[in-house]
Structure 1
Amino acid sequence: MSNIKLIIEERPSNIGNFMVGRLLPFREKRMVGPFAFIDHMGPTCMSNYENLDVPPHPHIGLSTLTYLFEGSIMHKDSLGTEMEIKPGQINWMTAGKGIVHSERTPEYLRNSDKMLHGLQIWVALPKELEEIEASFFHVPENEIPEWQLGDVAFKLIAGEVLGKKSPVPVYSPLYLLELKSRSRQTVTIGDYLFGESGLYILEGSIESEGNIFEPKQLLVAKDSKLCSFEMAENTTIYIFGGEAFPEERIIYWNFVASTKELIEKAKDKWLAQTFDKVPGENEFVPLPEQNKHYRL
């Protein structure tokens, strides 16, 4: 019997002036553990007149994780943070009761050809913490735990698993692992995983139970404890998951919450433009049309 519960294909989605591959949420699987949203950005080659420009927009009830493979993004937020993220580094922004941020191509790259490739992830906060104060945390590449098992290189981007702990300050039991193989390797780590678990293939392929899976596929496991597969040479995958929350989460635009009341409060606040401002920014992303549905 197969341990794969669901196969999710990347779907194209426009986030303003930039196309991404959306993995979560999916109609048949809104969340995997506390992970509520995953976008694969690129790889996109932008010419000297093309830039990433996502004007200030708000979030509540979640932490965002940005992890780049190529390129650079300048993050600015309403706490006064101004941080450039480069490949291999982690930006972890916790919205809590509310934060506003912008994401743009850094000024020194705006008139040159450039690449952009990475992951953007939303992790929902536990109900008792969804209205905490906002915060921002940056992790340099050399502080991310990494180790080697055979010909597979591991990195623990966030969470705690396999006897390792990432410095990213997460708020619930979870894990986000990067695995890179140089040669064909069998990986058996199910005894160390917990909760719900997903596996995303960035490049290369994996074989599980006689089936071959390729890039831009997200596999959701029936039982994380049975996680065993074979990685082809030069394959990169991400294994993520953790304990699911007892309550459902509602997603509306950039807001994640356990109740519609918190969503409505945030909508009214953004319409009134009473969120804190991002220093040096004058633009903002308007609230979507009022008939936009909640996603449960």
Structure 2
Amino acid sequence: MATVETSVLQTITPVTHDLGDFKVNRTLPGRQRTMVGPFIFVDEFGPARLPAGRGMDVRPHPHINLATVTYLFEGAIEHRDSIGSHAVIEPGAINLMTAGSGIVHSERSPQEQRADGASLYGMQTWLALPDGQEEIAPAFDHVPGDALPLVEDDGASARVLMGTLWGASAATPQHSPTIYADILLGAGGAIPIDSGADERAVMLVGGETELDGQPLDLFALYLLRPGHDARLSSAAGGRLMLMGGQAFPTRRYVFWNFVSSSRDRINQAKEDWKALRFALIPGDDQEYIPLPEVPLTVSYP
């Protein structure tokens, strides 16, 4: 029988940021590891119910050389960006925003959800763009839940969010080979994890689950050994995210909301944001997040 030592290459404990109304658990980037496949930023937020009249308000801020992926378990987020995109994401759908050469966006709780207090529970991840595609044109894709395949078997279901898993392929665009899935295990349910990707990791986001018979800690990121045929199971029921893809051959640096293979490019983006040279967001151009002196998100060293 496999043990956690044979299944798991590395376990990354989250750093928790208490934002007052809700908490964010961050596993990437960190001192232990920067990336898993193209995933270079992994945040889990909630579950939380905000006070009546309140909502989440992430003011306009910039990104370069990456793609953001937003996925919700509960609640809704209204997205606006500087190329004119406007969409409300709800559970089961994907928002993929490709920053490329540069984009500004905001994320807020829809107004109609604020009276009773908005609920927040979900994932925000960033994907580094591959060599030769870091400066592509910005783009935005909203993929509804009914365009994402649902695989069901043995008391388990898995919604394929990106890439191909269990023989099913998602419609979500990808810039490099990527896998991403939302796995629900019923009581007594089990599911094997495809072993084809270069790098794979799982995160328990609710309930209880075992990996090859070993219990998982909530919100920790477990990097699986390459080629290992792992199996997830749950006696009482649980929910997990599976993520990964092709390993990157060249390093990526992170500073605040900027990701790039070039430190000089990041420094240029910092100066451009301070000088207000990024495009504005139609319908949300009255405020912005200033460049921090010491950001919470950085690459090491």
Please state which band the TM-score falls in when normalised by the shorter chain.
over 0.9
Instruction: Tell me which residue corresponds to 1:196.
Output: 199
| 8 Å CA contact retained: 2:49, 2:120 | yes
Contact 2:206 2:218 in 1 (8 A): yes
**2:235 pairs with 1:232:** yes
**Equivalent in the alignment of 2:225:** 222
Q: Distance in 2 between matches of 1:16 and 1:247?
A: 37
Equivalent in the alignment of 1:136 = 140
Task: Measure how far apart 1:112 and its partner are.
Answer: 2.4
Percent sequence identity over matched residues? 36
- Secondary structure of the corresponding residue to residue 67 of structure 1: strand
Aligned residues: CA RMSD: 2.0
2:171 maps to 1:167: yes
| CA shift in 2, pair 1:14/1:254, >3 Å | farther
Partner residue in 2 for 1:245? 248
SS of 2:228's equivalent in the other structure is: helix
Are residues 1:259 and 2:262 paired? yes
How far is 1:54 from its partner? 0.7
Q: Equivalents in 2 of 1:224, 1:100: separation in Å?
A: 39
Match of 1:265, SS?
A: helix
Change (3 A) 1:149 1:209: closer
Pairing 1:270-285 to 2, within 5 Å after superposition:
270-281=273-284, 282-285=286-289
C-alpha deviation, 1:122, in angstroms: 0.4
Aligned twin of 1:91 = 95
Q: C-alpha deviations, 1:219-268, integer Å up to 9, x for none?
A: 11122433234333321111111111101110000000001011011111
Q: Could you say if the C-alpha distance between residues 224 and 123 of structure 1 is closer, same or farther in structure 2, counting changes exceeding 3 Å?
A: farther
Q: Extract structure 1 runs of 4+ deviating beyond 6 A.
A: 290-293
Shift of 1:14: 5.0
Normalized against structure 2, the TM-score is what? 0.92
CA distance in 2, matches of 1:133, 1:114: 33
Which whole-Å CA distance do the structure 2 matches of 1:86 and 1:8 have between them?
28
Distance 2:241 2:165 in 1: 14
User: In 2, distance between residues paired with 1:210 and 1:67?
Assistant: 28
Residue among 264, 267, 272 paired with 1:269: 272
Gaps of 5+ in 2: none
Find 2:110's aligned residue among 87, 106, 113.
106
How far residue 10 of structure 1 moved from its aligned partner, in angstroms, is 2.5
Q: How many residues align?
A: 295
Structure 2 Cα separation of the partners of residues 290 and 210 of structure 1: 41
CA distance in 2, matches of 1:125, 1:293: 17
Equivalence for 1:288: 292
